[in-house]
Chains A and B, each alone.
Chain A
Amino acid sequence: MKHAGFWMRGGWMHAALTVFFKEVIENLRDRRTVLNALITGPLIGPILFALLLGVQLRQQIEQAEKPLPIPVIGVRNAPNLIAYLRAQGLVVKPPPQGGSAQVAVDQQRASVVLVIPKRFAQAWAQGEPAGVELVYDSSRHASATPVRRLRGMISRYASITAAQRMLVRGLSPTLGRPVVVERRDQATAQSRSALVFSILPYFFVLTVFLGGMYLAIDTTAGERERQSLEPLLANPVARNAILAGKLMATTAFALVSLCLSILAFALCRHHPAADAAIDGIAGSLADSGGRLC
């Protein structure tokens, strides 16, 4: 290759860099690419993340001790239970029209209906298990929180009553609880936010993809579409040098996009609302993990 001496002496790198700079300049002049790589791409992660935080926060607030309005059928059958539930924040609403809990839930007039049957009082008096019914549709998202809260209230009432009955019979209430589980959560604020931010890599992958995608298409298929590939390949440059230059340009855009995204997340993280929201998410993640075990 005596004629191609120039290309043996660093010409390959020169050609790749020439292609690189040309692609960068050309694509910086394209509003669509700049918008995708440098604005939409880096911001989509933080925005999605903020929306997720918002949803979580709203659920947290719903779960807090705010009044829980629930229609109850058979209020008179268990006055003590109702009194306890009221003290816990239950707002007793009148039975649904027509008197059928099933129909009310099916027609979405109530997310959950508490039914206290007539035999409740009798079973209670005889010390037999006294049943109440929660009528709900678990496929509906809105029912999950009220059902969980109502079940919690009722089972607390049941354990208090159990303890009182044992005391009346001269037994220690602890007899009814042979094994006690104590949860010692070692999580710190940092480890909780680490749990939340463990989903960040997926956002970063998305950002890198969005940042580099348009260049990857434009510099390869676009070159052919614009009919500029043939003149380009007529230059005394190895094809892999051209490809390397285009790859470098694509990578550069993807990396800039990634850096901007990291920066945007870092700014997000220092927003005062972020800490509370992160604790909330981490708490519910830990809870769901606990329930799975």
Chain B
Amino acid sequence: MIEVKGLVKTFGAVQAVNGVTFSAADGEITGLLGPNGAGKTTTLRMLYTLMRPDAGSVHLDGIDAVAEPLAARLRLGVLPDARGLYKRLTARENITYFARLHGMAVERQKPRIDALLEVLGMRDIADRRAEGFSQGQRVKVALARALVHDPKNLILDEPGNGLDVMATRALRDFLRVLRSEGRCVLFSSHIMQEVTALCDRVVVIAQGRVVAIGTPQELLERTASDTLEDAFVRLIGTDEGLSA
């Protein structure tokens, strides 16, 4: 359960995030939808405590993430925009490193990592060095290390970036599995199909503000659009659209 209230972040004269409020429930996939530069990544960075918000609050399962960032991070799996691996370590070693940093008991690490390798279909690359991994393989390793401590909440920043069709389908299936396990999944995207195909709820964000929240169906009805793409354009498209 992720609850965000009145989040504000300014970089110099740029108001990146300007009063974002929403919540993402357990057992649901919430999509953060917005054009490039809308403030998605900045918002997510404040959620996973990489940045301190100038104002507003973030609560993860009731824990104040601003006041207790370490406790919040224990309940959080993160796939950031930057998802570099350690190329001289194998896939398994990359994941194990994060398991240790999470303070997982040694005897719990191996079964958990084996299970993740199985679910993500990466047994064949488990003991290969990450040097030369394909984009899809890298995302899988990054996902596995984000999930290794079995977090209740999951934040993914543009997870579909750079993936081919097969890898995208596999990722979607995997996110549905996570939802069915009762986790709270929050991901950002600017790709309409991804959002339509996956999300239970959509938070549309533009110019650092939330412009609409609802199920995909609700958004269609509200904007009298046939496709989510039209709805999206109406919601964020022009200044008139915003002020109306």
> Which chain B residue shows the least CB distance to A30?
B88
Instruction: Determine whether B63 belongs to the interface, using a CB cutoff of 8 Å to chain A.
Output: yes
- Assess the B84–A228 pair: CB atoms within 8 A: yes
Instruction: Determine whether A177 belongs to the interface, using a CB cutoff of 8 Å to chain B.
Output: no
8 A Cβ contacts from A22-75 to B = 22, 25-27, 29-30
- Assess the A29–B81 pair: CB atoms within 8 A: no
A4: which of B74, B78, B82, B88 is its contact (CB, 8 Å)?
B74
> Which chain B residue shows the least CB distance to A33?
B88
- Assess the B97–A22 pair: CB atoms within 8 A: yes
Query: Which residues does chain A contribute within 8 Å of B5, judged by CB atoms?
Result: none
Complex alpha-carbon distance, A17 and B84, angstroms: 22
Instruction: Determine whether A202 belongs to the interface, using a CB cutoff of 8 Å to chain B.
Output: no
Instruction: Determine whether A144 belongs to the interface, using a CB cutoff of 8 Å to chain B.
Output: no
- Assess the A18–B70 pair: CB atoms within 8 A: no
- Assess the B70–A230 pair: CB atoms within 8 A: no
- Size band of the B side of the interface? 20 to 34
Instruction: Determine whether B71 belongs to the interface, using a CB cutoff of 8 Å to chain A.
Output: yes
How far does the Cβ of B180 sit from chain A's closest Cβ, in whole Å? 24
Instruction: Determine whether B169 belongs to the interface, using a CB cutoff of 8 Å to chain A.
Output: no
- Assess the B68–A4 pair: CB atoms within 8 A: yes
Q: Which of B8-16, B98-106, B120-128, B203-211 contacts A (4 or more CB under 8 A)?
A: B98-106
How far does the Cβ of A263 sit from chain B's closest Cβ, in whole Å? 27
Instruction: Determine whether B147 belongs to the interface, using a CB cutoff of 8 Å to chain A.
Output: no
Instruction: Determine whether A180 belongs to the interface, using a CB cutoff of 8 Å to chain B.
Output: no
Instruction: Determine whether A231 belongs to the interface, using a CB cutoff of 8 Å to chain B.
Output: yes
Known contacts A1-B68, A236-B70; is-contact A7 B103 (Cβ 8 Å): yes
**A interface residues, how many (CB within 8 angstroms):** 29
Query: Which residues does chain B contribute within 8 Å of A229, judged by CB atoms?
Result: 82, 84
- Assess the B86–A236 pair: CB atoms within 8 A: no
8 A Cβ contacts from B45-104 to A = 48-50, 63, 68, 70-71, 73-74, 76, 78-89, 93, 97-98, 100-103
- Assess the A11–B103 pair: CB atoms within 8 A: yes
> Which chain A residue shows the least CB distance to B48?
A234
- Assess the B103–A14 pair: CB atoms within 8 A: yes
Query: Which residues does chain B contribute within 8 Å of A30, judged by CB atoms?
Result: 88
- Assess the B78–A231 pair: CB atoms within 8 A: yes
Contact with B along A195-234 (1 / 0, CB 8 A): 0000000000000000000000000000000111111111
How far does the Cβ of A1 sit from chain B's closest Cβ, in whole Å? 6
B73: which of A26, A29, A227, A236 is its contact (CB, 8 Å)?
A236
- Assess the A233–B50 pair: CB atoms within 8 A: yes
Complex alpha-carbon distance, A25 and B89, angstroms: 8
8 A Cβ contacts from A1-21 to B = 1, 3-4, 6-7, 11, 14-15, 18-19
Instruction: Determine whether A238 belongs to the interface, using a CB cutoff of 8 Å to chain B.
Output: yes
Instruction: Determine whether B142 belongs to the interface, using a CB cutoff of 8 Å to chain A.
Output: yes
Query: Which residues does chain B contribute within 8 Å of A14, judged by CB atoms?
Result: 100, 103
> Which chain A residue shows the least CB distance to B50?
A233
Instruction: Determine whether B201 belongs to the interface, using a CB cutoff of 8 Å to chain A.
Output: no
A237: which of B70, B76, B79 is its contact (CB, 8 Å)?
B70
Query: Which residues does chain A contribute within 8 Å of B76, judged by CB atoms?
Result: 234
Known contacts A22-B89, A234-B76; is-contact A15 B84 (Cβ 8 Å): no
Complex alpha-carbon distance, A26 and B94, angstroms: 10
- Assess the B81–A236 pair: CB atoms within 8 A: no
Complex alpha-carbon distance, A228 and B91, angstroms: 14
Complex alpha-carbon distance, A234 and B83, angstroms: 11
Complex alpha-carbon distance, A27 and B88, angstroms: 8
Instruction: Determine whether A126 belongs to the interface, using a CB cutoff of 8 Å to chain B.
Output: no
Complex alpha-carbon distance, A15 and B80, angstroms: 21
Instruction: Determine whether B183 belongs to the interface, using a CB cutoff of 8 Å to chain A.
Output: no
- Assess the B84–A231 pair: CB atoms within 8 A: yes
Complex alpha-carbon distance, A235 and B49, angstroms: 10
> Which chain B residue shows the least CB distance to A22?
B97
Complex alpha-carbon distance, A237 and B68, angstroms: 12
- Assess the A1–B71 pair: CB atoms within 8 A: yes
Instruction: Determine whether B40 belongs to the interface, using a CB cutoff of 8 Å to chain A.
Output: no
- Assess the A234–B73 pair: CB atoms within 8 A: yes
Complex alpha-carbon distance, A30 and B87, angstroms: 10
12 cross-chain CB contacts under 8 A? A1-B68, A1-B70, A1-B71, A3-B74, A18-B101, A22-B93, A26-B88, A29-B89, A226-B84, A226-B87, A231-B83, A233-B50
- With A226-B86, A227-B82, A231-B145 known, 4 other A-B pairs at CB within 8 A are A1-B70, A22-B89, A226-B85, A236-B101
